[in-house]
Homo-oligomer: A and B are copies of this chain.
Amino acid sequence: MNFLETKILSDGIIKQGDILKIDNFLNHQIDIRIIRQIAQELKQRFHDVAVDKILTIEASGIAIATMLDHLYDVPVVFAKKSETANSTDNKFVSQAYSFTHKQLNSVFVSKPYLNPSERVLIVDDFLADGQAVHALIDIVHQAGGEVVGIGIAVEKGQQKGGRLLREEGYRLESIAIIEEMDWEKQTIRFRE
């Protein structure tokens, strides 16, 4: 078991409805030792990939992206979310349904911050249905850039996001992949 799986088992809380709360080290309180390890692990897994820019989405993704960037020294861009955003205002805009907030969000990046031919590494804290990551991919493609990899801390392997991205041919690296969670027994099984 790797450091993140160990941490999830010790600190994660399973809630009814297939929800994993890791608020105490990643999504609300941040344990910098874990963030450092996540960043080092992602850098290592993408060691053979040239990266011009790191793209994430507010808010929790920013901590991972910042620490990863401390190792890469390229610009980070964090996409913003709002209930409404139009593309007339010099933005690349895509849509993502948030299961957490039960609403469709616009996700956007101001045009100056993504450029044609840039090799973009997308990072985020969670991957479930893949709505946010697909919106980020769409935005990179609108800008004419290339998605060279997707680095995720925790993938909920029971949901379809990871499978779809792999089928689409993206290089996806998730540090912990949850295969099964049992709310009543409070047990988690990770993918080998």
Contact = CB atoms under 8 A, between A and B. Distances in A.
Contacts of A78: 28, 30, 59
Contact of A58 (B58, B67, B75, B76): B58
Interface in A71-89: 72-78, 80
A121 interface: no
Contacts of A59: 58-59, 62, 78, 80
Contact of A75 (B29, B73, B110): B29
A19 to B, nearest CB: 15
B30 A77 contact: yes
Given A23-B110, A24-B113, A58-B58, A29 B77 contact: yes
Please tell me the size bucket of the interface on A: 20 to 34
A36 interface: yes
Interface in A91-122: 109-110, 112-113
Interface string A12-33: 0000000000011000111111
25 contacts: A28-B77, A28-B80, A28-B109, A29-B76, A30-B62, A30-B65, A30-B66, A30-B78, A31-B75, A32-B66, A32-B69, A32-B73, A32-B74, A35-B66, A36-B70, A59-B78, A60-B62, A62-B63, A62-B66, A63-B63, A63-B76, A66-B66, A66-B67, A67-B67, A70-B70
Interface of A: 23-24, 28-33, 35-36, 58-60, 62-63, 65-67, 69-70, 72-78, 80, 109-110, 112-113
Given A29-B77, A32-B72, 5 more contacts: A28-B77, A28-B80, A28-B109, A59-B62, A59-B80
